[in-house]
Amino acid sequence: MPKIPEGEMNLAELKKLIKGYNDFMSINTKGMKRDKLIELIVEMGYTIDHKNKRLTRKKQKVKKMPMKVKMPPAPKKEDKKDKAKAKKVKKEDVIDYILKNKTILNDDRIKHLHKGLA
């Protein structure tokens, strides 16, 4: 595996940039190596700015091709408390729905679930 020069983006970062580009155009990066991906980016007319982590286009060939592609923002990580709270709210909604529609309890598919509760 070739060593990545100091200060240059790795394959994952390059794929993130292409993912941002894919909002405009379609490129399949599946199974592509870093060198091949860099070659494809340069072939499309972009220069790779490793320091600022973005792609810059030299000339505008097609209007829908962006001049600059910045790194997409990192996804937000959900807090465990928020997940637990959302789960509790969902459970309460199901209980409220069942209480409003008590005929649901007569359904054969769920009779076995509430036999021991009654």
> Do residue 21 and residue 65 come from a single domain?
yes
Examine residue 38 and state whether it is found in any structural domain, yes or no. yes
> Do residue 41 and residue 92 come from a single domain?
no
State residue 64's pLDDT score: 64
- Does position 24 have pLDDT exceeding 60, yes or no? no
Tell me which residue of 69, 28, 61, 24 sits closest to 44, measured CA to CA.
Answer: 61
SS3 state at 37: helix
> Do residue 94 and residue 60 come from a single domain?
no
- Condensed to tens digits (0 to 9), the pLDDT of residues 62-75 reads 666 666 777 777 77
The pair of structure tokens assigned to 108 is 């054969």
DSSP annotation of 8 reads -
- Distance from C-alpha of 117 to C-alpha of 114, rounded to nearest angstrom: 5
SS (H, E, C) 53-65: CEEEECCCCCCCC
- Does position 8 have pLDDT exceeding 70, yes or no? yes
Examine residue 3 and state whether it is found in any structural domain, yes or no. no
Do 14 and 34 touch, CB atoms closer than 8 A? yes
- Condensed to tens digits (0 to 9), the pLDDT of residues 25-57 reads 667 777 888 888 888 888 877 888 888 888 877
Do 22 and 72 touch, CB atoms closer than 8 A? no
- Condensed to tens digits (0 to 9), the pLDDT of residues 80-96 reads 888 889 999 999 998 89
- Number of Cβ within 10 Å of residue 49's Cβ equals 15
Average pLDDT over residues 15-21: 73
Domain, as residue range, for 48: 11-70
> Do residue 63 and residue 85 come from a single domain?
no
Total domains in the fold of the chain: 2
- Does position 23 have pLDDT exceeding 60, yes or no? no
State residue 25's pLDDT score: 60
